Amino acid sequence: MLLYVVAYDIPDDKRCKKVSDLLEGYGKRVQYSVFECVLSQAKYEELGKLQFPIPNSQFPIPNSLVSR
């Protein structure tokens, strides 16, 4: 399992709400448009297959940088 930080800036309120509702099922909201998601490989792939307007830019955070 890896921690992913998902951040987005979507000017369309309806689309922004749709993305945030979706991400709440995968992780914890830490700011208005930022989520922390601890994902297994299967959940990561599931999230990647969904149709929503977030570019394919992923930067996993190593465990050594995650404060507990």
pLDDT of 51? 66
Provide the whole-model pTM: 0.72
More confident residue, 22 or 63: 22
Tens digit of each residue's pLDDT (9 = 90 or more) over 11-40: 889 988 989 999 999 999 999 999 999 999
Burial 19-29 (b: 16+ CB within 10 A, else e): bbeebeebbee
Q: What is the CATH number of domain 2-65?
A: 3.30.70.240
DSSP state of 52: S
